Chain A
Amino acid sequence: MRFPLLLAGLALLVVALFAGSLLVGPAGIAPARALAALVRGEGLAETLVMREIRLPRALLAVMIGASLGLAGAAMQGYLRNPLAEPGLIGISGSAALGAVLALHTGLAAAFALALPLAALAGAVVAVGLILALAGRTGGSITLILAGIAVSAMAGALTSLVLNLSPNPFAAAEIVFWMMGSLADRSMVHVWLALPFMAVGWALLATLGRGLDALTLGEDAAATLGVSLTRLRLMLIGGTACVVGAGTAVAGAIGFVGLVVPHILRPFVGARPSRLLAASALGGAAMLLAADIAVRLVLPERDLKLGVLTALVGAPLFLHLIYRTRREGL
């Protein structure tokens, strides 16, 4: 069968890029020594570099990439709209606002889980708003307009919070929160995000059959035994968990959830259920590749991941809008 082959191919790609991600970095450690340091802890400096800097970075790329791909595929399946993407419709931006609030009110310092929880809360508000504004009958235009409104609001409030911070560095970090980066993250961030993401992945993974049925519209899906209320709750909860946790530790990274499902849709026969798993793997591969690229292109600077994903994603987004318009949706 073609689908298992596709998944196996994507999984291999993720493994290869994961290994690549572990081997790229300014420390210039030879692969054999890198492996020895990572697995057996040989050499203090090498072990610190491999285990505390590169491993969390590669793990976060996989986790966040898979989350964004999965959330994008799920949102698109639910809204039956290929333009739905957590970053574009303001979910990531609202999650960033939540994270920034937790950091700058001191909540995150007092209680570590406050950071992902606040980001999750921001994401829930945004998903709820988007579904309320564009969910049932809203077409592409409503969706994009709602996304612009939510993004603008979240971006402005994030800037405000950062500007009010007593920390002189904070105000300059709006770029990080809007574009995202995995530079210099640690295992602390992995453990902070993983539980929420695992819950989100589990919630989104159950949506497959419901999303397939939704291909025929809400009424048809309901009479095929799908509970739309439950589906909507799982989608909101799952998307908020994965996007919230990812944004809390790496900022808002856009377009992954747009590009990956779009590329993979023809390979899964456009079936929303199959697109979920494929997009999760594809998203992990795309973010790993992007994170390797930012280190190769400008090794000295912390080039933001969102810059690369937007360079790939924005032209595709324009193309999709053009096609949507032509189809008169």
Chain B
Amino acid sequence: MNSGIDLQGTFIESLMDLGLPLGAAKAIWMPLPMLLMIIGATVGVLVTVWLERKISAAAQQRIGPEFIGPLGVLAPVADGLKLIFKEDVIPAKSDPWLFTLGPVIVVIPVFLSYLIVPFGQNLIVSNVGMGVFLWIALSSVTPIGLLMSGYASNNKYSLLGGLRAAAQSISYEIPLALAVLAIAMMSNSLSTVDIVDQQSGYGILGWNIWRQPIGFLIFWIAALAECERLPFDLPEAEEELVAGYQTEYSGMKFALFYLGSYINLVLSALLVAILYLGGWEFPIPLDAIAGWLNVSPTNPVFQVVTASLGITMTLLKAYFLVFTAILLRWTVPRVRIDQLLDLGWKFLLPISLVNLLLTAALKISFPAFFGG
């Protein structure tokens, strides 16, 4: 496995050649990937909103946005602009501090989680040793923000929505964490880069989905519940709870919730791609292709091609999962709160425990296949 392109190293080296000290060069580098990540996440959300509208329209035999830009691609931009210029109402009887803090607490952890999403061997903002654990920890901050905004709105529907969101997030966090644990056990690491590396080498056959089919399903169901996507969107059910904790929000604060939920969806899809679908790996191992074509793996052109292919593959896999989530939205009816908790505690939790045990047993019996 070659190291591929190391943008950070090259950038810092070139700055040091200009006569800057190491610390200054690193400080100049640091904001760049963060900015890129925020821009990337926001563009990802715009693309997802557009896809949601277009795919929803297609599933219902409509056309969807058509005249706002070519094929309506500017529709989400128009949405965003509208929300920015909208009046920001804070209800008179609400708690203004908690009301403002709520959406911020919902959005920040989701953006922070993008730190651990790798698009290539070195195309990652920070390769934290316990990357996936960091994501799970950050995602459990979100329900606090939801509960806070539901409570601060001083509205029955909002409070009910906030409570439901908290209950849902807490109960689906456990199967999610257990599914990730099985992966971590197989990869002997929590770092996302290591998890992808462990799946590499055999192309599509090496991906974790073949070794963890149950874990994949549990993870995807739990991730949908974490994002409050449609089969599990009852905290923000429009018909029953008048959009739940979002009832009293308008303008930019509502936009933060909206943004947060879509970023969360893209993030979950990216993580499924990384944990189960081989991350940036091409279905056929690229090193083998290089061998057939007699190209050296250290060839700069080959490295650039590999890196861009890696980014494309990660995004393709993630957006395929986003597509299935949107299709599921128009297929599956919304569950009730008791059915939701039943599914979480009585179905997913025991199955994920069995899956974990099975993985441990298989790891001991066949260390060659299950990462000894």
Q: Do A and B come from the same complex?
A: no
Q: Contact residues of A with B, CB < 8 Å?
A: none
Q: Contact residues of B with A, CB < 8 Å?
A: none
